[in-house]
Chains A and B, each alone.
Chain A
Amino acid sequence: DGGITQSPKYLFRKEGQNVTLSCEQNLNHDAMYWYRQDPGQGLRLIYYSQIVNDFQKGDIAEGYSVSREKKESFPLTVTSAQKNPTAFYLCASTHTGGQPQHFGDGTRLSIL
């Protein structure tokens, strides 16, 4: 069954700690995206990647890092430089060229 898998569903971060959120897709999509969702603010783009070994900053990239070593995988690291990391993080993917994005079920990150 094709889809986007995000793990873990819940994650807790201690002060000064980096944490990595996993996103895997088996849809053979070229492009992958990371969004942050906060109450009342909609989804905001953190990073996106249209091809392996290449990625671009979105609107709120500060304090985050990504890698795209495989087509299927686009992990997001929330670094200690991100001072307000508590949010719902969503990963999406799509074929390039005007196709709509499809989303995983998210990871909720909280501060300990």
Chain B
Amino acid sequence: QKEVEQDPGPLSVPEGAIVSLNCTYSNSAFQYFMWYRQYSRKGPELLMYTYSSGNKEDGRFTAQVDKSSKYISLFIRDSQPSDSATYLCAMSASGATNKLIFGTGTLLAVQP
């Protein structure tokens, strides 16, 4: 069993839809949770960074962490064609080495 599970998609939605992306994990020691967006042939770009449980909002993006269920989510409101990319979740147990464990990524396509 992988430490981090993420549905690879592809996920196709119409422009303006609310998108929900999710990851589950098995290591209860994870404390730091990140979402990255990766466009084709580019490096991952940090979208959201959360420590421990709770919600964090930044513009059209909301990240949720539920440590009791070992489940994290990224919501995108009013999705745009420019949001079409692969979304990677990542998490780490300790701040000391910052070793990240990544999900495999979900490919999102927002149709105009």
A97-B43 CB under 8 A given contacts A42-B88, A42-B104, A43-B88: no
Cβ of B32: which chain A residues have Cβ within 8 Å of it?
A: 98, 100
B87 to chain A, nearest CB (A): 12
Structural contact, B96 and A40, CB atoms closer than 8 A? no
A90 with B44, Cβ < 8 A, contacts A40-B104, A42-B88, A42-B102 known: yes
Q: For residue A44, which residues in chain B have a CB less than 8 angstroms away from its CB?
A: 102
A41-72 interface code vs B (CB 8 A; 1 in, 0 out): 11111001010000010100000000000000
Q: Mark B37-54, 1 if CB is under 8 A from A, else 0.
A: 000011111100101000
Q: Is the interface of A mostly helix, strand, loop or mixed?
A: strand
Give the size category of B's interface with A: 20 to 34
Size of the A side of the interface (Cβ < 8 Å), in residues, is: 28
Residues of A within 8 A of B90 (CB): 43
Query: Would you call A40 and B46 a contact (CB within 8 A)?
Result: no
B-side contacts of A40, CB under 8 Å: 8, 104
Q: How far is the CA of A42 from the CA of B103 in the complex (A)?
A: 6
Residues of A within 8 A of B45 (CB): 103
**A13 CB within 8 Å of chain B:** no
Q: Which residue in A4, A31, A100, A108 is a CB contact (below 8 Å) of B34?
A: A100
Verify A96–B103 contact, CB threshold 8 A: no
Residue from the list B4, B6, B98 in contact with A101, Cβ < 8 A: B98
B1 at the interface (CB under 8 A from A): no
Interface: B68 (CB within 8 A):
no
Contact indicator A45/B41 (Cβ below 8 Å):
no
